[in-house]
Chain A
């Protein structure tokens, strides 16, 4: 009898070409994504070696990290910082020279790499997708096998061979059951999960998210969940494809069409984990108990329900964790015992590959509608298409009327590569994935949360339980 396989094991096995004596397997890469940040090194090295891209049609290049979020008409020529301009221009040159399709600054479908893949139907169930970015797991929300790779040497290897040597990770299933309360979202689920298992909790594992909460969730919400797998240390996060997935993909520009759709669909339906599949680790979460979450420290695991307090390091038994939390609170300029909803915020950022899809903007707009921001706040849609869709629904008018800035799609203030950053000591409410020291600029103080919670902070000027508005 054959082993009952999980979603991950099934797709992994389908992509193994040969094993090597070091215990790694050569995997076939169905599709790979390239962004501009740091990847010029891979192309420079290939040029030095006289190599070509073996399968250029399987690659897609997108400019997102370094693009300005304003004044885009004359970009990249108008990018003031010469280093940033050179990085943006380099991808254009490299994509052209190596024959890869490039969605650059003026392409109608330009956007954040992990937003546009699914949106175009380029991301599909069962595909092994490699991308030189730690948030590649986003694509796992559609039942693809996502593999994050390095920006220089590993990317060069994928481009030159269309394969990748990998050691098979262990498996972990996180089962999330229950109905989410009002204003409790996918972001709150994943922050609660990371707070529980820690930033190292998923290291060496491929996570499958399952359970009734996930089944009831939209593809947008599932992407938010998978996106932050790396924040729990897992490079791979996946969700079994179902009718929600198939309905989402049907008719998208790069989805299979005609008879191909039926063939693809028949295969996709075989992918979900067998009911008897075994996982190396299992964990379950009761989603109906969750409240909106906010981070208070310098790691995504430093997150708590908005109804609670800044923790007291003195009450933490583990000495290593105690000193880490103490250092985090020093950096964040927070006093133990402070009510989380009393923390004043200087700036709000709604954006990033975690939470800048149309559903995220709709949720934030619902909170903002008829209210005014009391601090600087901006919305950076996840893609140019999300921006157009939002404008067609009139969401831009709601944000603008409330005093938000309405910008162009890029990674923007998530990592600040394009120059959108906080001043030292400024405190933000952000819908992003990382609250590391200096992530949004040197000395920046970041609180991560859902779009609804960030919108609530924008209209009150402090961390706020959106349910109380």
Chain B
């Protein structure tokens, strides 16, 4: 997982409430393979919002507007990522190039999956999120800054907002440690367990 420290990027306002994981990655794309270095899921991110039935971009949709072509931050409506637990929703978010999401609330499982994949989700009070949304809508293509060590978001108007994050999650994002990386910090204990196990359970020795 790529570490997350600070990010300054174009921010896009995605002012849709309860945008669920089935909209983030429609079910028919769930069997899509994912190859190293190809960002295969970028194309399916919010697919049916971005493209019509003929696979043509919907010009009106915010992420199809030229000002937001390189958006790396999304300011989202409430309950973004609610619904099914499909992890592909987090893959698609990352593959599309988004590293930070800012909203009043998120689907729990989606939020966990994002953090696990190096996408920072930030919860701010609804009035602040609304204010960010308005600023971005009035100045399309403007950038925002997310500073994880300082736990701040800098709005287009320069105002800084503090956000909370679980200390463990913060440390993992800063170090780029996903769950496997965290567990492998216990490798000596795991290996010691296996050594004891081989002695105690000789009939499993050939496997462990």
Residues of A that sit less than 8 Å from B by CB: 17-18, 21-22, 26, 28, 30-31, 38, 40-41, 44-45, 47-51, 55, 57-58, 83, 86-87, 90, 150, 152-153, 156-157, 160-163, 165, 256, 260-261, 263-264, 267
Contacting A at CB under 8 A, from B68-102, are: 85, 87-88, 91
Q: A260-B202, A267-B201 are in contact. Are A48 and B180 (CB under 8 A)?
A: no
B183 on the A face (CB < 8 A): yes
B206 and chain A: residue at smallest CB distance: A57
Q: List 5 A-B contacts (CB under 8 A).
A: A30-B207, A90-B33, A162-B190, A263-B201, A264-B203
Q: Is the CB of A260 within 8 A of B33?
A: no
Tell me the bound Cα distance from A86 to B30 in angstroms. Answer: 12
Question: What residue of chain B has the Cβ atom nearest to residue A22's Cβ?
Answer: B168
Q: Number of residue pairs across A and B with beta carbons under 8 Å? A: 89
**Looking at B88, B197, B207, which has the most chain A CB atoms within 10 Å of its CB?**
B207
CB–CB A153/B204 < 8 A = no
In the complex, are the beta carbons of B180 and A156 less than 8 A apart?
A: yes
Contact B190 A17 (CB under 8 A): yes
User: What is the bound-complex CA distance between A160 and B189, given in angstroms?
Assistant: 15
Residue of B nearest to A161 (CB): B183
Find out whether the CB atom of A157 lies under 8 angstroms from the CB atom of B180. Answer: yes
Residue on B nearest A159 in the bound complex, by CB: B180
Of A28, A31, A50, A161, the contact of B184 (CB 8 Å cutoff): A161
Residue ranges of B at the interface with A (Cβ–Cβ < 8 Å):
1, 30-31, 33-37, 85, 87-88, 91, 113, 116, 168, 178-180, 183-184, 186, 189-190, 193-194, 197, 201-204, 206-208
Q: A45 CA to B34 CA in the complex, in Å?
A: 7
Closest to A30 in B: B204
- Measured CB to CB, the closest approach of chain A to B112, in angstroms, equals 9
Given A17-B190, A30-B204, A161-B190, the answer on whether A86 and B33 have CB atoms closer than 8 Å is yes
What residues on A are CB-neighbors of B88 within 8 Å?
41, 152
Interfacial chain A residues near B201, Cβ < 8 Å: 263-264, 267
Name which residue of chain A comes closest to B113, CB basis: A153
Contact assessment for B179 and A18 in the assembled complex, using a CB-CB cutoff below 8 Å = no
Distance A256 CA – B201 CA, assembled complex (angstroms): 11
The winner among B179, B190, B203 for most chain A CB atoms within 10 A is: B203
Residue numbers in A under 8 Å from B206 (CB-CB): 57
Q: How far is the CB of B60 from chain A (nearest CB, A)?
A: 31
Q: State the Cβ distance, A30 to closest chain B Cβ, in Å.
A: 7
A87 to B190, CA, bound (A): 33
- In whole angstroms, how far apart are the Cα atoms of A264 and B202 in the complex? 8
A268 to nearest B CB, angstroms?
10
B179 contacts across to A, CB distance below 8 A: 153, 157, 165
5 A-B pairs with the lowest CB-CB distances in the bound complex, closest first = A260-B203, A256-B203, A44-B34, A152-B87, A264-B203
Looking at A26, A31, A161, which has the most chain B CB atoms within 10 Å of its CB? A161
Asked whether A163 lies within 8 Å of B190 as measured between CB atoms, the reply is: yes
Contacts of A90 in B (CB 8 A): 33
| CA A117 to CA B83, docked complex, whole Å | 33
B33 touching A44, Cβ below 8 Å: yes
**In the complex, which residue of chain A has the Cβ closest to the Cβ of B38?**
A48
* A57 pairs with B180, CB closer than 8 A: no
Q: How far is the CB of B7 from chain A (nearest CB, A)?
A: 21
B197 nearest CB neighbor, chain A only: A28
Asked whether, in the complex, the Cβ of A40 is within 8 Å of the Cβ of B190, the reply is: no
| Residue in A87, A90, A153 whose Cβ sees the most chain B Cβ within 10 Å | A153
A150:B186 contact, CB within 8 angstroms: no
The reply to whether A41 and B190 contact each other, CB–CB distance below 8 Å, is no
Whether B183 contacts A163 by the Cβ 8 Å rule is yes
Residue of A nearest to B86 (CB): A152
B190 near A28 (CB under 8 angstroms)?
A: yes
Q: Which residues of chain B are within 8 angstroms of A162 by Cβ–Cβ distance?
A: 190
Q: Given that A17-B193, A156-B180, A163-B190 are contacting pairs, would A83 and B31 also be in contact in the complex, using a CB cutoff of 8 Å? A: yes
Contact (Cβ within 8 A) A47 B186? no
Identify the closest chain B residue to A57 (Cβ).
B207
Point out the residue from B36, B85, B193 that lies within 8 Å of A28, measured CB to CB.
B193
A40 CA to B33 CA, complexed, in Å: 7
- B189: A residues at CB distance < 8 A: 17-18, 26
User: A267–B204 Cα gap in the complex (Å)?
Assistant: 12
